[in-house]
Amino acid sequence: MIPKETIDEIFEAAKIEEVISDFVTLKKRGANLLGLCPFHNEKTPSFTVSPSKGIYKCFGCGEGGNSVSFLMDKEHYSYPEALKYLARKYNIEIVEQAMTEEQVERASEKDSLYIISKFAKDFFTNELWESEEGKTIGLNYFKERGYSEEIIKKFELGYSPKSKDALSKKSIKNQYSKESLLKSGLSIEIDKKALIDRFRERVIFPIHSFSGRILGFGGRALNPNAKAKYQNSPESLIYNKSKILYGIFFAKNAISKNNNCFIVEGYTDVISLYQKGVENVVSASGTALSIDQIKLISRFTNNISILFDGDSAGIKASFRSVDLILKEGMNVKVIPFPENEDPDSFAKQNTSEDLKTFLEKNAIDFITYKTKILNAESEEDPIKRVAIIKEIIRSIALIPDYLTRTEYCKVCSKLLDVKESVLLRDIDQERKRINLSENVQRIEKGKPPNAEKNLKRKKYEEEIIRILLNYGDKKITFDNDTVLVYDFIINELEADNITINNEPHNKIYSEIKRLSSLNKFNQSYFTSHRENAINKLSIDLLSNKHIISENWASRHKIYTSVESENLKKTAEKSILMLKAQHVEEEITMIQAKIKSNSAKHEDITLLNNLIKIKNKISNLVGRTGF
């Protein structure tokens, strides 16, 4: 393990402009440097490097980070590999220190799984290209599917021989442990004695991590008598299928460049489309999309296009996954293929140009598509028709953005022949029902109400964090009393027992409190933080072009370019708005209790007091002239 002191020394020595200029041509622009973003195609430079803050930010695709994260994203290094690259560049000696027993055990287990997985991948690819069985059966299968040798090698496809224990035997012979083989799922134990290969007599599709490491495998049986046509690695310490997207390692840069991610069902769909030049494609490997997978895609784009084959049952099964995407505020389109066609077969039968044209021309926004599909089934049955309208309303109600919901209402009003005002009314009621249901569930668990998924609170908490990161050690004056911004904000929040709840905002806030109490507040601590979520958010909030928030800016006309001149006013405003939100949540919680008939007399008294506090804050906000 690299000692913290050495990590700090590396960050201090690394000049971000020197590191990035090894990969990107940068030109001076005021205090910063500007260049063409290496993460997406652009003709006008929007990739900004700030030497003073030690960060970069692309205002085109949104990528941002420090010297280490740049190397991790650009060169696909792991965190230690990026640190070692910089240590070599700046002649810093790394003397790794011993880890605790628990750290050693966990790291050892993970490392052993990564190592055995790489060994297995090498075994499978070698069998495919070097053995007679592999070339005759496996390689011939891939070529019959139309895969070029280049694409087979790129995706590191392989072959597992018919012998029941070929991989297991070779692994043991090469000093790999039986435990690692079992935990990785590569081997199965029979009668607590013999090991047999899980993937025997199958072509192999390695599953890569975001950074390119092998996490697991998918295997397709070539023996028609096999019990299962497809078999995947079981979950392990390094492989969690709900957090992985097949092909993401190869697709991530193309997703950013094209500002869109195509989602298909299987491995072969991904490979066939990729070979035809559609590189921004991934697969959830036959499972429903999870929140983690959706959030992974959202790092690169806010647009998702789901490719469906002609199986209507499969399309309906995907409706729930799409609703999850809508709930995350992302844009979803669907691309249905002709009957008896899927992405794999269609890609093989068409040129790259025809394929891309088809994908572009046949993309339909999901709400419109779902409305047409379900509406076509209702025929003249009024009961079915009402059920369909309610289902469409439920989907639209999940969309966070009001304007987007309104636009969908206009479209669906025409398709369903229902008045737009009626749809808007019912959607509003559905949103209230969803929020009330979530709030009651949270109250029953002793948690504060969700209230629009905490979007408002998250926005106000983020504003607090942004001010602390940018101006925490700056002075503001109240009458004749001068205080530091972080002391003022922290004291004000603690006086009313207000906490920062959303992650990673709460972690950053806790660290700011700790560092400020030691008089060690430092922006670089956060921009060089090892936890990716913390340094990414910190860098975004420290970027010069960052505006407080779209709604906040338009309503209150506060922008980062001038706020330093009104720092006292900005800090006061941010505190008041967060306090107001907490009061609003308390009010919502009591109202939910009243509706569920669980409110007590003291709740009614508290509700009246909270309403008075809410009005008082509103008056304060009005008087401060924001």
* pLDDT, tens digit, 9 for 90 and up, residues 328-379: 888 999 898 888 888 999 999 999 999 999 999 999 888 888 888 777 766 6
Kindly indicate the confidence band of residue 542, based on its pLDDT and cuts at 50, 70 and 90.
confident
Kindly indicate the confidence band of residue 617, based on its pLDDT and cuts at 50, 70 and 90.
confident
Kindly indicate the confidence band of residue 533, based on its pLDDT and cuts at 50, 70 and 90.
confident
DSSP string, 103-166: HHHHHHHHHHHHHHHHHHHHHHHHHHHHSHHIIIIIIHHHHHTT--HHHHHHTT-EEE-SSTTH
Q: Angle formed by the axes of helices 67-75 and 79-89, to 10°? A: 110
% of the chain surpassing 90 pLDDT: 31
Higher-confidence position of 51 and 558? 51
- Asked if the domains at 101-239 and 243-362 fall in one CATH topology, the answer is no
Residue with structure tokens 């669907």? 334
How high does pLDDT run on average in the chain? 84
Contact 112, 180 (CB under 8 A): yes
The confidence score (pLDDT) of residue 195 equals 92
Q: Which fold has domain 243-362?
A: Dna Topoisomerase Vi A Subunit; Chain: A, domain 2 (3.40.1360)
Among 371-385, 553-567, 591-605, whose mean pLDDT is lowest?
Answer: 553-567
Bridge partner residues of 49 (DSSP): 33, 56
This prediction has a pTM of 0.65
Contact 282, 246 (CB under 8 A): yes
What confidence tens digit (pLDDT) does each residue in 385-439 have?
888 888 889 889 888 888 888 988 998 888 888 898 999 999 888 888 877 666 5
Q: Which residues contact 452 (CB under 8 A, 6 or more apart)?
A: 400, 435
Among 82-96, 185-199, 226-240, 435-449, whose mean pLDDT is lowest?
Answer: 435-449
Span 455-469, average pLDDT: 88
Phi, psi of 145 (to 5 degrees): -80, -5
Among 106-115, 136-145, 442-451, whose mean pLDDT is lowest?
Answer: 442-451
Residue 203 has pLDDT above 90, yes or no: yes
Residue boundaries of the structural domains of the chain: 4-89, 101-239, 243-362, 372-444, 452-623
- Enter the CATH code of domain 101-239: 3.90.980.10
The confidence score (pLDDT) of residue 103 equals 52
The confidence score (pLDDT) of residue 253 equals 81
What confidence tens digit (pLDDT) does each residue in 303-324 have?
999 987 755 555 666 677 788 8
**How far apart (Å, rounded) are the C-alpha atoms in residues 22 and 46?**
18
Residue 26 has pLDDT above 50, yes or no: yes
Span 498-526, average pLDDT: 89
Residue 379 one-letter amino acid: E
Kindly indicate the confidence band of residue 201, based on its pLDDT and cuts at 50, 70 and 90.
very high
Residue 441 has pLDDT above 70, yes or no: no
**How far apart (Å, rounded) are the C-alpha atoms in residues 287 and 589?**
36
The confidence score (pLDDT) of residue 443 equals 52
Tell me which long-range contacts 166-173 makes (C-beta under 8 A, separation of at least 24).
Answer: 166/127, 166/197, 166/200, 167/120, 167/123, 167/124, 167/197, 167/199, 168/195, 168/196, 168/197, 170/123, 171/116, 171/119, 171/120, 171/123
Q: Which fold has domain 4-89?
A: DNA Primase; Chain A (3.90.580)
The confidence score (pLDDT) of residue 564 equals 63
Higher-confidence position of 392 and 256? 392
What confidence tens digit (pLDDT) does each residue in 584-601 have?
888 877 887 787 777 788
The confidence score (pLDDT) of residue 199 equals 95
**How far apart (Å, rounded) are the C-alpha atoms in residues 443 and 596?**
11
DSSP string, 358-392: HHHHT-EEHHHHHHHHHHHHHTT-HHHHHHHHHHH
Cα angle 483-486-487, degrees, rounded to a multiple of 5: 50
**How far apart (Å, rounded) are the C-alpha atoms in residues 579 and 569?**
15
